[in-house]
Structure 1
Amino acid sequence: MLRLNSREAMSARALLLLLILLLTACAAPLRAPEGLAREELRSFQIEARFSLRLEPDPSKTEPGQGASGRLIWRHDGESDHIVFSGPLGQGLAELSSTASGARLRLASGEERQARDAATLLKSFWAYPLPVDQLPRWLLGHFSGAGSLLRDAQGRPSQLTDAGWEIGYAYEDEAVGALPSRLTVRREGEFELRLRIEEWQINP
């Protein structure tokens, strides 16, 4: 086993810190392409960490459930492709959804199909995750019954839609910045947190 003396260990830590600072400084800002409004985005991909918490049913004795990991989500019009992996990168599931139906492939090789993504994920996580609504919520869109608050830069900050509450946070002060954090809640039932590390926009 390689052992470092105190001076070498300090130098190694300093080098690691420098690399982290350089990578942070070189990271591309999460912004919509120049000249393209947030409302016009139709095709994108995000890479994110997720944390999911299901509240316990008060009528039952079972505890609440939770899960965390990473996801890569590619959205294009009416189609979605999501790859879920565990915190250490191990595969969990792969979801494909179009207007004609949805398919879920588990790490075991088992495949499930249903009419929509929410129904499929309910069989996996015991809750109908709002997959069909998430792409529009990411961009601050909502149904006719919803409402939206904007921050000082005119960006979405708080959205309510059909009983769901969506909160936004940004790492960039620019007007065109895309959210780096998203929290989706349904009071007493469900909470999903996304820490978005990368946006790829396809105008």
Structure 2
Amino acid sequence: MRQAKLSIIGVLIIALLAGCTPLRKPPPPFDPEHTWQKRQLALRKLGGWKLKGRLAIDAIQEAWTGTLRWVQKGDKFEILWISPLGQGSVELRGNPERVTLRVPKEAPITAESAEKLLGIRLGWSLPVSGLRYWLLGLPAPGLPVLSRSLDPFGRLHSLSQGGWQIRYLGYQSVKNYQLPGKVFLDNPKLRLRLVIDRWHLV
């Protein structure tokens, strides 16, 4: 009988203690937009980066594939695009004011933008000024954003800017960042398909 009373008292004490325990608040719902804003701030602070990947270019009547290497240090960039099977290479070095283009067996040529150089020499143009940001998964500053969509983790899924439609088909972890692993870019005259094999933050 005594044991039964002790058991009842024990149950009552546990119930009272449980009643005094504050209720835990449920975790706030995940907000992709809030995460996206924080992600933008972090990515824009990157001082420099390098990438190596595979780039396919599909123009109106021609197509090329090759390896892309890009080094960005502040406003300075070095881009090397190498075609397979010894078909040649294109090298761009410069900054927002002056860019030099080098191709094998030709004298270097210089202009105020990479887009102009490529258009004159090759007949097609990479959107270098925008790509610097698009490759990181960011809109380019100074250009209107016509539309954008986010994935459930607050990363860019698609972007319409500067006459280009950009789609992000995968991301990869690089240190504390989520950086694109596959980027598709389209405009009426050119299609770019880039698979990034390796990122290096500097």
Same fold? TM cut 0.5: yes
Separation (CA, whole Å) in 1 of partners of 2:86 and 2:48:
25
Aligned to 1:11: none
Pairs within 5 Å for 1:137-176 = 137-139=134-136, 140-142=138-140, 143-146=142-145, 147-172=147-172, 176=177
Give how far 1:91 is off.
Answer: 4.5
- Within 5 Å, which residues of 2 pair with 1:120-199? 120-139=117-136, 140-142=138-140, 143-146=142-145, 147-172=147-172, 176-186=177-187, 188-199=188-199
Tell me the matched-pair count: 158
Task: State the match for 2:110 in structure 1.
Answer: 113
Larger Rg: 2
Aligned to 1:97: 94
CA distance in 1 between partners of 2:111 and 2:64 (Å): 22
Deviation at 1:41, TM superposition (A): 2.0
Q: Residue 157 of structure 2 contacts residue 168 of structure 2 at CA under 8 Å; is this kept in 1? A: yes
Alpha-carbon separation, structure 2, partners of 1:178 and 1:51: 20
- Bigger mean CA deviation after superposition, 170-179 or 67-76: 170-179
Indicate if the aligned counterparts of 1:91 and 1:107 stay in contact, CA closer than 8 A. Answer: yes
C-alpha separation between the residues in 1 aligned to 2:89 and 2:173?
A: 35
- Cα–Cα, structure 1 residues 39 and 161, in superposed 2: closer, same or farther, change >3 Å? same
Gap change, CA 1:173 and 1:128, over 3 Å in 2? closer
- Give the CA deviation at 1:198: 0.6
Sort the Cα spacing of 1:152 and 1:66 in 2 relative to 1 into closer, same or farther, 3 A: same
SS in 2 for 1:84: strand
Aligned residue identity for 2:148: L
> Which residue type is aligned with residue 191 of structure 2?
E
Secondary structure of the corresponding residue to residue 128 of structure 1:
coil
Partners of 1:81 and 1:90 in 2: CA distance: 20
Contact kept, 8 Å, 2:55 with 2:195, in 1: the verdict is: yes
Corresponding position: 1:71 with 2:65: no
Hey, what's the Cα distance between the residues in 1 that align with 2:44 and 2:167?
A: 18
Q: Which of 49, 53, 59 is 1:54 aligned to?
A: 59
Q: Displacement of 1:170 after TM fit?
A: 1.8
SS at match of 2:133: helix
TM-score normalised to the size of structure 1? 0.70
Residue deviations 1:22-51 (CA, integer Å, cap 9, x gap): xxxxxxxxxxxxxx9223223111101100
Q: In the superposition, relative to structure 1, how do residues 49 and 185 fare at CA in structure 2: closer, same or farther (>3 Å)?
A: same
Higher helix residue share: 2
Contiguous gaps of at least 5 residues in structure 1: 1-35, 56-63
Q: One-letter code of the match for 2:152?
A: A
Residue 39 of structure 1: aligned partner: 44
The structure showing larger relative contact order (alpha-carbon pairs under 8 Å, at least 6 residues apart) is 1
TM-score w.r.t. structure 2 length? 0.71
Q: Distance in 2 between the 1:173 and 1:129 partners?
A: 26
> Letter of the aligned partner of 1:95 in structure 2?
L
Contact kept? 1:170, 1:177, Cα under 8 Å: no
